A and B are shown apart, each in its own frame.
Chain A
């Protein structure tokens, strides 16, 4: 270790002291307290929604850059909780999937309890080439099946990824559609078909 490295470590240590981990922890605690106090029930969106699970808390605390060991632990836990289809089939109807992919509705305080949640897919992803009003927060899924094939392994992967994207990437932006009960098993199968069915517009 040379003098420059030692100097660097000393500087790093004094910075760590300057940002005060204790102060950061107390700010974290104060933030949690304020959030719990300052949000209230509205329609179907109950105040308890601000309560975080372990994964949400970790991704918030580390601003989506969770230490590797914790990241792997969280991903393993999410994967273990995936409920795979009992009949071993992953593909539904791509037409129903396209309809679902178009809908960005669901679970806001202005949605009614009986309103079904949509897949929100086009909000963030390109899918069918015909739909030009697509978002770009997530990667393009155009030709998803065409480039990957339609093997059972790929089907299972697509199902798992929609069911719980966090099993693959702990702090992914994508919601956990199956895990959080946003979409049903049948609906997720329809989305898998939209991605993988050779007849789906995604693969045309």
Chain B
């Protein structure tokens, strides 16, 4: 059985399980069902297949330079993957920018491998038709921080500035519905329809558990989703235009959310409905 078939089998089991749960108890929330599903597959998250794919890509010579990413500096020195995600985003001296994981992977893929940034950024997210290299690489890297405490720094002036700008983007209301991130994510114990919403601005526990459980395998989509994807889909539902992949706006917002999660153990890749 190949990994694709394993994923599909697990997904079918999950749907069957959630269907049974739904029939048995109408008032069971999605969160309850997801918790039951998490328990059921606690021995293995389908995101592991994407982690494996990412690890292979990390070690494989690719691009015009036929180089691997094994010399990529994610902030803890060239090639150090372990624990790197728990300290991202951070300021990088070589680029003079604050970068999140995906923005930094873009730097490594272009500088080490000689790949073109706009080609990678044109289709950065996986679809059911095509996997995404940068997305799988992300899954691999985050997996190497599992169990490590989030410790994102705001010591460098640029890091502090990114945090402040991220906070402002979080509260930035615009578009036909006047929505900001804060419209749905600044109050505790509220939900949209049956979907519980984490309070990311004034509830430390919510902010920590939300941030440390992304990237995640989305059961409803059968795909592992990166944090950039998570932000992208939030902006879609906010009725905003599309944020550019790994742009300063998305990195700043990630900085604000990551700092809010500091102190919690990173627990991804996660598993979501």
A: which residues have CB within 8 A of B? Answer: 27-28, 30-31, 34-35, 37-42, 45-52, 55-56, 59-60, 63-64, 104, 107-110, 122-124, 132-137, 166, 173, 175-176, 180-182
Q: Which of A39, A104, A124, A137 contacts B241 (CB 8 A)?
A: A39
Nearest CB in chain B to that of A24: its residue: B164
**A109 and B236 form a contact (CB under 8 A):** yes
Instruction: Given A34-B252, A46-B241, A49-B174, check contact A135 B191 (CB 8 Å).
Output: yes
Closest residue of B by beta carbon distance from A36: B249
What is the distance, in angstroms, from B217's C-beta to the closest C-beta of chain A?
Answer: 21
Given contacts A107-B177, A182-B176, contact A123 B193 (CB under 8 A): yes
Q: In the bound complex, how far is the Cα of B203 from the Cα of A143, in angstroms?
A: 32
Please report the C-alpha to C-alpha distance between residue A51 and residue B178 in the assembled complex, in whole angstroms. 11
Q: How far is the CA of A123 from the CA of B174 in the complex (A)?
A: 19
Q: What is the CA–CA distance of A171 and B124 in the complex, to the nearest angstrom?
A: 35
B221 in the interface, Cβ–Cβ < 8 Å? no
- Whether the Cβ atoms of B190 and A52 lie closer than 8 Å is no
Q: Identify A108's interface contact among B191, B195, B237, B247, CB under 8 A.
A: B237
A27-B161, A56-B173 given; A104·B242 CB < 8 A: no
Q: B residues within 8 A CB of A56?
A: 173-174, 178
Does the CB pair B174–A27 fall under 8 Å?
no
| Residues A40 and B165 in contact, CB atoms below 8 Å apart | no
Complex: A180 Cα to B192 Cα, angstroms: 22
B139-195 contacts to A, CB under 8 A, are 161, 164-165, 168-169, 171-180, 182-184, 187, 189-195
Contact present for B183 and A173 (CB under 8 Å) = yes
- Cβ B247 vs Cβ A38 within 8 A: yes
A137–B192 touching, CB < 8 Å: yes
Q: Please give me the residue from chain B that is nearest to A55 by CB atom.
A: B178
Flag if A180 contacts B169 (CB, 8 Å).
Answer: no
Interface magnitude class on chain B: 35 or more
Q: Are A107 and B239 in contact (CB under 8 A)?
A: yes
A39-B244, A42-B241, A63-B171 known; 9 new pairs, CB 8 Å cut-off, are A31-B165, A35-B172, A35-B249, A52-B173, A107-B239, A124-B192, A134-B193, A173-B183, A182-B177
Contact between chains at B177 and A180 (CB < 8 Å): yes
Q: How far is the CB of B245 from chain A (nearest CB, A)?
A: 10
Q: Which of B180, B193, B250, B252 has the most CB of A within 10 A?
A: B193
Q: Which residues of B contact A136 (CB under 8 A)?
A: 189-191
Task: Return the chain A residue nearest B252 by Cβ.
Answer: A34
Would you list the 7 A-B pairs with minimal beta carbon distance, nearest first?
A: A38-B249, A42-B242, A38-B247, A175-B177, A31-B168, A39-B241, A56-B173
Could you tell me if B242 and A137 are in contact, using CB atoms closer than 8 angstroms? Answer: no
A49 and B239 in contact, given A31-B168, A137-B184 (Cβ under 8 angstroms)? yes
Contact B184 A45 (CB under 8 A): no
Residues of chain B within 8 A of A181, CB atoms compared: 176
Max chain B C-beta neighbours (<10 A), residue from A28, A37, A51, A173? A173
Tell me, yes or no, whether B26 is within 8 Å of chain A by CB.
yes
Give 5 A-B contacts (CB < 8 Å), ordered by A residue. Answer: A39-B243, A48-B241, A60-B174, A109-B241, A180-B176
CB distance from A57 to the nearest CB of B (A): 8
A residues less than 8 Å from B197 (CB atoms): 137
| Separation of A148 and B169 alpha carbons in the complex (Å) | 39
Contacts of A38 in B (CB 8 A): 243-244, 247-250
User: How far apart sit A137 and B236, CA to CA, in the bound complex (Å)?
Assistant: 19
Q: B26, B190, B191, B240: which contacts A39 (Cβ < 8 A)?
A: B240
Residues on A with C-beta less than 8 A from B249 are: 34-35, 37-39
Given contacts A38-B244, A60-B171, contact A137 B178 (CB under 8 A): no
**Is B169 a contact partner of A31 (Cβ separation < 8 A)?**
yes
Report chain B residues within 8 Å CB of A122. 193
Q: Which residue of B lies closest to A120 (CB)?
A: B177
A110 to B164: give the CA distance in the assembly, Å: 30
Asked if residues B177 and A109 are in contact (CB atoms below 8 Å), the reply is no
Q: Residue on A with the closest CB to B247?
A: A38
Asked if B191 contacts A40 (CB within 8 A), the reply is no
Name the contact of A40 in the complex, choosing from B195, B244, B248 (C-beta under 8 A): B244
Q: B61: shortest Cβ distance to chain A, in Å?
A: 33
Q: Given the known A-B contacts A30-B165, A35-B169, A122-B193, are A41 and B177 also in contact in the complex, defined by CB atoms under 8 Å?
A: no
